[in-house]
Amino acid sequence: MADGSNLSDALAFEKNRFMKLVSEAAVAAQTEVGGLKQQLAAKGLAISGNRYSGEIEIRLGKIGSVVEKRIALRRELGSKVPELLEEYHLKTLKDELEEYEGFPSSVES
């Protein structure tokens, strides 16, 4: 069993990495949305359903990517700090990911 400092360090590392992933995804989404806006404006569709649905698709794709990377990171860290894979810590991760995705954690899956 890992000692408390290993667990604390792993959780802090994971949280910092998550924040970096979120920031990177936001920048990438803005860049992609900007490109989409330019493409559609060139076609005279700057204000259209295509633009809005494309923007939503881009942003949801980035959210999904961040969630997948966070889960992969938890698996990787869990192999070194097994306490991260205990029920309490997995529930906390689930709640954080649901909050990030915009879904209420009170909804049971």
Residue range 3-22, pLDDT digits in tens = 678 999 999 999 999 999 99
- Residue 107 domain flag: no
- Residue 92 domain flag: yes
pLDDT tens sequence across 50-102 = 889 999 999 999 999 999 999 999 999 999 999 999 999 999 999 999 999 87
Long-range contacts of 68-75 (CB under 8 A, 24+ apart): 69/21, 70/14, 70/17, 70/18, 70/21, 70/97, 71/97, 73/14, 73/17, 73/18, 74/14
Distance of CA 49 to the CA centre of its chain: 25
- Please count the structural domains in the chain: 1
- Residue 108 domain flag: no
- Residue 106 domain flag: no
Distance of CA 40 to the CA centre of its chain: 27
Q: How many CB atoms lie within 10 A of CB 95?
A: 13
**What's the domain range around 84?**
4-101
